[in-house]
Amino acid sequence: MSVLQQWEPAQADPQVIVNENFEALEHMAVYGKDATSTAGLTWGYLGGRWAGHAVVAGTVALAASSTQYVVVARATGVLSVSGSSTNWNNTAAYARVYKLTTGPATVTAVEDWRAGGYGVHGQGESSGGGGSTITAIPIACSDEATPLTAGTAKVTFRIPFAMNLSEVRASLTTAQASGSILTVDINAGGASILSTKLTIDNTEKTSTTAAAAAVISSAALADDAEITIDIDQVGDGTAAGLKVYLIGVPA
């Protein structure tokens, strides 16, 4: 077991050793609370380097009397805070830092998630040196040849593990030529998880090129949750071979 070098009074220049000790641990301090810039509903954080990003120390403003979720975008290293847990649960795209409880004018409780599950220095990260990787679950919602029709619960299944979604997709074997845009919904426990539904534009076979991208409103899927796929709308009746893909990381 390695032992951190300690300051001993007999050393001629103890401040050098102390500074070296801090330098050895500075990677763990990035995004940590900066007491010199934290006051009231202003939360200060330390800079440094993380996952290849140069992080500049800064502050964020917290909303009063609420739960505040502090996260870091994995792609950019940028820290942000929100009263919504959407990014907190989107662990494929964001790493967790702090969950803060605020009163009217101060922070009243702090949960430090930096070394916790999906934290900036913890396990379960999909990037930045973590463990879990992004998983995709493909679901066939029809056969390959029969024209699709609108309707609810075209397929019903149970998700095999808890999952935090980062993306959903849909694809076709045969594109439809014209008519209303093919629209697909995904439900967990009978409630839609999308605020903007999945669509596949006419003459296209994939939702990745859709004019309107799907937006996930409920990213956290519980283990064994019942998932149903609805076809809300079809066009000229020529589309066939629908598949839906759930993409994210195990929770």
**pLDDT average, residue stretch 73-101:** 90
Q: Sign (positive/negative) of CA torsion 74, 194, 232, 189?
A: positive
Cα 59 to Cα 38, 41, 51, 120, 204, distances in angstroms? 8, 10, 20, 17, 45
Rounded to whole angstroms, the Cα distance separating 231 from 75 reads 33
Would you state the pLDDT for residue 157? 96
Q: What Rg do the C-alpha atoms of the chain give, in angstroms?
A: 24
Give me the chain's average pLDDT, please.
86
The class that CATH gives domain 135-250 is: mainly beta
Rounded to whole angstroms, the Cα distance separating 48 from 33 reads 13
Rounded to whole angstroms, the Cα distance separating 86 from 217 reads 7
pLDDT in tens, 112-157: 988 866 888 875 544 443 345 678 899 999 999 999 999 999 999 9
- Percent of the chain clearing pLDDT 90 (strictly above): 61
Domains of the chain, by residue range, sit at 31-112, 135-250
Top pLDDT among 216 and 192 is at 192
Of the ranges 73-82, 124-133, 162-171, 216-225, which one carries the lowest mean pLDDT score? 124-133
Of the ranges 112-116, 166-170, 211-215, which one carries the lowest mean pLDDT score? 112-116
Residue 193, C-beta contacts closer than 8 angstroms, at least 6 positions apart: 165, 186, 187, 216, 217, 218, 219, 221
Would you state the pLDDT for residue 8? 52
Would you state the pLDDT for residue 75? 81
Would you state the pLDDT for residue 158? 96
Would you state the pLDDT for residue 165? 84
140 token code pair: 């066939």
Residue 34, C-beta contacts closer than 8 angstroms, at least 6 positions apart: 44, 45, 46, 57, 59
